[in-house]
Structure 1
Amino acid sequence: MDLNADLGEGFGAWRLGDDEALLDVVTSANVACGFHAGDPSTMHRVCRRAAEKGVAVGAQVGYRDLAGFGRRRIDYDHDELRDDILYQIGALEAFCKAAGDRVRYVKPHGALYNTAAVDVVQSSAVVDAVVAYDPALPVLCQPGSVLAQRAVDAGLTVIGEGFADRGYLPDGRLVPRSAAGALVHDQRQVVRRAVRMATDGSVVAVDGSEVACPVRSICLHGDTPGAVDLAGSVRDGLRAAGLEVRPFAAGQDR
């Protein structure tokens, strides 16, 4: 099972999360590419450290929305969004190359992630950008989403992702951050949810129903208070359940 986190989400003098410590725990790093967060120096630093530690780097592509941290939906034209995503992948690839590695996968961020999960136009823009850049790149997204289906239809590899520290709606979507139950704070509960997703392919929704959630990667948010300890506990829990924790992307080992 892969364990991923969003990294490199600072900007300039502002730092968000403990990238260095998380890189000792996770197996894949979703690195911000400068649109919703991140800057060249941050991208360079995280890619270099990830390469040193054997952590797979993915392009965490988002809306052009630094002020809103990419968490506000933007109604893009298809071609404009495709090109914005293509630009971000290429920018991160430069820093991966400088570190002796390459981008291993693509994952949308924030509002783009949620919109592409249900919207044909925006999911198509994500898929078309990946196809144009490198059809061998996997797409990390919610299983059963519109994005997952569009990616499969285009011949891309889809990696199902689960969120141990986020609440789920009965239809499998994430609870909006503005609503009650959006975040799961109890560490033991987060670990139990991660192990259940990894072993049973399911998660309990906010209404108590069971939702199918077949995943190959589990995400923990790097900006959550206590994120490093939480990620370590999840990793320990997965190993205790008999699972090997390693990157899903080919050519990487921890």
Structure 2
Amino acid sequence: MKVELYERILETELKYVSCFSNCIKEQRSITFKDSKLVDMYMHNFILLKESIKKDELRSFIHNKLKEVQRENKEYLHIMMNYSIQLHELKNFIPEPQITEYCYMVITPKEFNKLKIKNDCYVRKADTFEVLRDGISADVQANKATMGKEFATKRIKRKSEEYKNNPNLNLYVCYKEDVPIGKCELLIEDGIAKIEDFDIIEEYQKQGYGTSVVRKLLEQAYIENVDIAYLITDHFDTAKDMYKKCGFYIFGFKTSILFNL
């Protein structure tokens, strides 16, 4: 049962990325390319389908590095749905940035165990005004780490898909009438994916994040979803909030990023 559920989650993950990127399937990997935002790491990457041995992994990476260098590309991003031993990637030039993520899951009916703050409400961005507020909250939450210009390009690129894909929606969190956060929700074939979750820094750790999670799980429950999941940095403090909400770790994902 766990294997079957994991496969359904991974299939949903592919559907999510395919909202933004074209995919090229090869024997061992799938290459995702977003021609509209080529400098977006999470839309442009190579996904290894299955675990491979250390020597084979190193050879695969070496070959892909040669390809992107010939094409004068600025980075190579490889992802895999499992953990790796960091020593397996020693002595690469340039040295890669390696991040371990975890898949966390929850049953949507757990939404009624979570509290919502009295001064907070969460709305689906199904009008121009709410979408505009969501874009504003996204840029404000991410401009410090991404830069305002790229943060704006990124959320506007995503907004194109919110308008075109009825299964992918943005939800905006308000404190009274001020947009203070947002989050995506994709629902496909009984699985809900929670993604791109941000609360503006000055409003973090005050219960607003929990309020957003409650709303998304409630929506998933209304739509008869079996399981909801999200992906978070394995070593990030956000994981603790999700645990408090009832999520538990179900699997792992590794990102290998070479800046060239």
TM-score by length of 2: 0.29
- Specify which structure has the higher proportion of helix: 2
Q: Which has the higher contact order (CA 8 A, sep 6+)?
A: 2
- Specify which structure has the higher proportion of strand: 2
**Larger-gyration structure (1/2):** 2
